[in-house]
């Protein structure tokens, strides 16, 4: 194979050598439909210049972006009872280039703390726990935030709640122009309107889709007084206060609770700026249950700290408490839900703009960095020449299909550089695209549960809108003549649709596997088997042992997410199971195992 420096492949044994792989490809060209040169070129294209990672078995603690020569960025993340949003917020912070996260939980009881503990790392994900019912909470909060962000050693820090998404025009915080000349940035924050199906935003907050992220951008003068005079108006129409991004060494404390402004440390003049290429999308309303929980937490805070808030401080909280006491809280939520006609009217009036429109008005569209899977990505002559090596496609069909079905299989994009990456989609496109119409039976082990406590749960990985079985539906769309079979141990994954068959089955249990395979609905052999199950090495080996016999001659067997789980230490067992069938590893640090069954 080519060296780790140019393609991310790593040779560990004879079956992985270039000569062995070349021979395997020559012998099994019908099955693989590609050459080693083609695979090398494609994977190199996908991973060029970046340590791209794809859905590791353990949640990642570092973003997949090279940081040499760039500012280090920390995020202070304040949270209470945000299990609905917290993992998506963390994933977004990593995607925009945050190196270090300090998460401060203020007494969650909905499972948020348990979710945060999964990410805990002494290196780059610190957890702090404060109780907002304690008398000294506010003083402790102010001191804790300032101290923690300084201890990260970061050059810059941002401050957010779990419902705030920082949106850089380029897709990377490091590329914000004002970082070169300022000490404190005052970043505009806009509410995201709530439509009939949820917040008006795409399932991926990347530059190529900023036109789908809608924001309420038109300030209403003296908004507090306006709402008093017009109590039936939706609070979400207002434009909330800005949030700061600051150099930690200039932070002495916070002028406003909630980290809305900085008390400056040091006597030297402070350089302030309002960035044109950065904004915050705020999701104050998402679901009725989350809103009700928020108001209940507000009630508990006021019960202990009422004297802390002046008449005009946190006035929107007081509004919600009054409505709750009157039994009218549902009315407030209903007011924030706009139907399609209202959304269009507000857009025409300029009250609502997309993030792309806001950046364009500021003269910084960031469109030169549209992700590779966006259909309107501008193609340079170099890109066309490069894509031409593999049949002149700029976007793997599978990437768009995986995204359509909200799976995690296409999630790996570095927006800081012109790096094109599609997670597993690029690999699968190479393996299957030339004979996709010939495939009749595909088995995927691991359907994708949404049970948070399930092993390898999709919570925190899948895109918003995901339903269990997203990848099965994607395979059905891609392989137009195939029936797709799925096995899992979680009951929420079970469904039967046209050309999709699912069963409850532990793939490591030989007896249960045999029973399922004897069912009339199941074929004698599969063209393709994909193990996206527990991601544990012992399970992967046992599953391979149980299912290798059900793979057609010249069929392809893929095991996802073998990086760092001990699978490579079991290569001798793999050889025993596979006999003389060739196999190879792909991806940075060997992320996927691919086997072609000898005919």
* Domain CATH number, residue 35: 3.40.50.150
Report if residue 347 sits inside a domain: no
Phi, psi of 273 (to 5 degrees): -150, 155
Smallest CA-to-CA distance from 369 within 92, 93, 171, 166 is with 171
Q: What is the pLDDT of residues 143-198, one digit of tens each?
A: 777 788 889 999 999 999 999 999 999 999 999 999 989 999 999 999 999 998 88
Ordered DSSP codes for 351-375? SEEEHHHHHHHTT---GGG--TTST
**Residue 448 CA: distances (Å) to CA of 80, 403, 434, 532:** 27, 15, 27, 9
Of the chain, the end-to-end C-alpha distance in Å amounts to 23
* Token couple for 106: 């203020």
* Token couple for 44: 């190199």
Domain count, the chain: 2
- Is residue 453 located within the same domain as residue 587? yes
- Is residue 304 located within the same domain as residue 453? no
Characterize 323-362 residue by residue with b for buried, 16 or more Cβ atoms within 10 angstroms of its Cβ, and e for exposed.
bbeeeebeebbebbbbeeeebeebbeeebbbbbbbbbbeb
Identify whether the C-beta of residue 164 lies closer than 8 Å to the C-beta of residue 157: no
Smallest CA-to-CA distance from 554 within 592, 584, 581, 523 is with 581
- Is residue 398 located within the same domain as residue 307? no
Cβ-based neighbours of 348, under 8 Å, separated by 6 or more: none
Report if residue 366 sits inside a domain: no
Identify whether the C-beta of residue 452 lies closer than 8 Å to the C-beta of residue 113: no
The pLDDT of residue 132: 66
Cβ-based neighbours of 430, under 8 Å, separated by 6 or more: 34, 38, 39, 42, 43, 390
* Token couple for 540: 């992967």
CA dist., res. 145 & res. 475, Å (int): 46
Identify whether the C-beta of residue 474 lies closer than 8 Å to the C-beta of residue 401: yes
- Is residue 389 located within the same domain as residue 469? yes
Place of tokens 């009054």: 322
Report if residue 145 sits inside a domain: no
Report if residue 558 sits inside a domain: yes
- Is residue 315 located within the same domain as residue 386? no
* Token couple for 33: 């439909």
Place of tokens 């404190």: 184
- Is residue 301 located within the same domain as residue 411? no
Residue ranges in the chain modelled with pLDDT below 70: 1-69, 132-133, 136-142, 255-260, 305-313, 365-396, 411-423, 564, 587-590, 599
Report if residue 213 sits inside a domain: no
Identify whether the C-beta of residue 99 lies closer than 8 Å to the C-beta of residue 72: yes
CA dist., res. 240 & res. 223, Å (int): 10
Smallest CA-to-CA distance from 179 within 22, 61, 72 is with 72
Domain boundaries, position 51: 4-55+374-596
For Cα atoms 523, 525, 529, give the angle at the middle one, nearest 5 degrees.
Answer: 105
Query: Helix, strand, coil: what percent of the chain each, to 5?
Result: 40, 20, 45
H/E element holding 517?
helix 510-517
- Is residue 443 located within the same domain as residue 519? yes
Ordered DSSP codes for 477-490? HHSTT-EEEEEES-
- Is residue 326 located within the same domain as residue 385? no
Identify whether the C-beta of residue 353 lies closer than 8 Å to the C-beta of residue 347: yes
Place of tokens 């809305």: 260
The pLDDT of residue 179: 92
Identify whether the C-beta of residue 300 lies closer than 8 Å to the C-beta of residue 258: no
Sort strands 526-531 and 551-559 into parallel, antiparallel or unpaired: parallel
- Is residue 462 located within the same domain as residue 325? no
- Is residue 316 located within the same domain as residue 457? no
49: left (phi over 0), alpha (psi -120 to 50) or beta: left
Cβ-based neighbours of 126, under 8 Å, separated by 6 or more: 100, 101, 102, 103, 120, 148, 152
Identify whether the C-beta of residue 124 lies closer than 8 Å to the C-beta of residue 61: yes
- Is residue 589 located within the same domain as residue 449? yes
Report if residue 139 sits inside a domain: no
Most distant CA pair in the chain, distance: 80
Report if residue 86 sits inside a domain: no
Q: How many CA atoms lie within 13 A of 199 on its CB side?
A: 27
Report if residue 268 sits inside a domain: no
Q: What is the pLDDT of residues 549-566, one digit of tens each?
A: 999 988 999 998 887 677
How many CB atoms are closer than 10 A to CB 457?
Answer: 15
Identify whether the C-beta of residue 303 lies closer than 8 Å to the C-beta of residue 295: no
- Is residue 529 located within the same domain as residue 471? yes
How many CB atoms are closer than 10 A to CB 139?
Answer: 10
């Amino acid at each position: 194979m080519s060296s780790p420096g140019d393609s991310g492949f790593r040779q560990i044994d004879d079956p992985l050598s270039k000569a062995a792989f070349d021979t395997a490809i020559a012998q099994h060209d019908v099955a693989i439909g590609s050459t080693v040169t083609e695979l090398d070129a494609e994977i190199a294209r996908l991973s060029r210049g970046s340590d791209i990672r794809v859905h590791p078995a353990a949640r990642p603690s570092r973003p997949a972006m090279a940081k040499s020569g760039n500012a280090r960025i920390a995020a202070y993340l304040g949270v209470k009872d945000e299990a609905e949003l917290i993992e998506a917020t963390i994933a977004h912070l990593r995607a925009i280039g945050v190196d270090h996260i300090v998460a401060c939980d203020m007494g969650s009881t909905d499972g948020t703390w348990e979710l945060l503990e999964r990410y805990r790392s002494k290196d780059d994900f610190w957890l702090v726990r404060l109780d907002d019912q304690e008398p000294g909470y506010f003083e402790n909060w102010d001191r804790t935030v300032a101290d923690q962000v300084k201890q990260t050693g970061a050059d810059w820090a941002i401050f957010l709640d779990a419902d705030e998404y920082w949106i850089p025009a380029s897709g990377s915080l490091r590329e914000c122009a004002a970082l070169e000349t300022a000490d404190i940035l005052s970043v505009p924050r806009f509410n995201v309107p709530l439509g009939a199906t949820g917040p008006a935003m795409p399932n991926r907050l990347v530059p190529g889709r900023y036109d789908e992220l809608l924001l309420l951008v038109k300030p209403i003068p003296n908004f507090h007084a306006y709402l008093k005079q017009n109590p039936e108006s939706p609070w979400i129409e207002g434009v909330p206060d800005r949030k700061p991004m600051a150099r930690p060494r200039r932070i002495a404390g916070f002028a406003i609770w909630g980290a809305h402004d900085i008390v400056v440390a040091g006597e030297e003049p402070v350089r302030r700026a309002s960035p044109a290429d950065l904004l915050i999308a705020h999701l104050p309303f998402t679901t009725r249950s989350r809103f009700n929980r928020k108001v209940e937490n507000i009630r508990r805070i006021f019960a202990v700290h009422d004297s802390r808030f002046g008449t005009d401080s946190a006035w929107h909280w007081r509004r919600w408490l009054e409505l709750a006491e009157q039994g009218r809280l549902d009315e407030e939520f209903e007011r924030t839900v706009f139907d399609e006609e209202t959304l269009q009217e507000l857009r025409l009036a300029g009250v609502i703009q997309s993030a792309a429109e806001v950046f364009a008005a500021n003269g910084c569209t960031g469109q030169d960095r549209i992700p590779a899977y966006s259909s309107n990505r501008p193609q340079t002559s170099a890109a066309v020449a490069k894509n031409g090596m593999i049949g002149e496609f700029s976007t793997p069909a599978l990437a768009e299909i995986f995204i359509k079905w909200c799976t995690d299989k296409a999630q790996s994009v570095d927006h800081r550089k012109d790096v094109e990456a599609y997670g597993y989609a690029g690999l699968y496109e190479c393996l299957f695209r030339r004979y996709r119409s010939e495939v009749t039976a595909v088995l995927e082990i691991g359907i994708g549960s949404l049970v948070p406590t399930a092993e390898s749960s999709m919570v925190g990985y899948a895109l918003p809108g995901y339903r269990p079985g997203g990848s099965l539906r994607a395979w059905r769309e891609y392989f137009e003549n195939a029936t797709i079979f799925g096995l899992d141990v979680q009951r929420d994954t079970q469904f039967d649709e046209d050309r999709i068959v699912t069963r409850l089955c532990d793939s490591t249990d030989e007896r249960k596997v045999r029973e399922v395979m004897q069912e009339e609905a199941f074929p004698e052999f599969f063209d393709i088997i994909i193990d996206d199950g527990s991601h544990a090495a012992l399970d992967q080996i046992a599953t391979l042992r149980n299912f290798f016999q059900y793979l057609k001659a010249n069929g392809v067997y893929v095991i996802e997410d073998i990086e760092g789980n001990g699978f490579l230490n079991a290569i001798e067992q793999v050889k025993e199971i596979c006999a003389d069938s060739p196999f190879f590893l792909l991806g940075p640090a060997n992320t996927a195992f691919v086997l072609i069954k000898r005919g």
